[in-house]
Amino acid sequence: MEEKRIAVLAIAVKDREKAMQVNELLHQFGDYIISRTGLPYREQGINIITLITDAPQDIVSNLSGKIGRISDVEIKISYLKV
């Protein structure tokens, strides 16, 4: 079994109509999400979601790849050493 890692994911949803697709993916990977926050940044016209996951790196890569393929959605990942 692959070692789990803590990852912080920052997701910017530039088109609000894409939020449903993002939320569906987050639901599918919900067992690995230990924290999730979301807020609208009205001045910039985007919604920002931050996640903290505890999962094998291939799971995080799978999730981020699927999110990254949604148009008008950007994602960045940072892994923590623990």
pLDDT score, position 82: 75
Percent of the chain at pLDDT exceeding 70 = 99
pLDDT of residue 2: 77
Domain ranges of the chain: 4-80
Q: Is the pLDDT of residue 1 over 70?
A: no
Quick one: fold of 4-80?
A: Alpha-Beta Plaits (3.30.70)
Q: Which two tokens stand for residue 62?
A: 């799978």
pLDDT at 81 over 90: no
State pTM to two decimals. 0.91
**Alpha carbon of 66 to those of 16, 24, 42, 57, 82: distances in Å?**
17, 11, 25, 14, 26
The CA-to-CA distance between both ends of the chain, in Å, stands at: 18
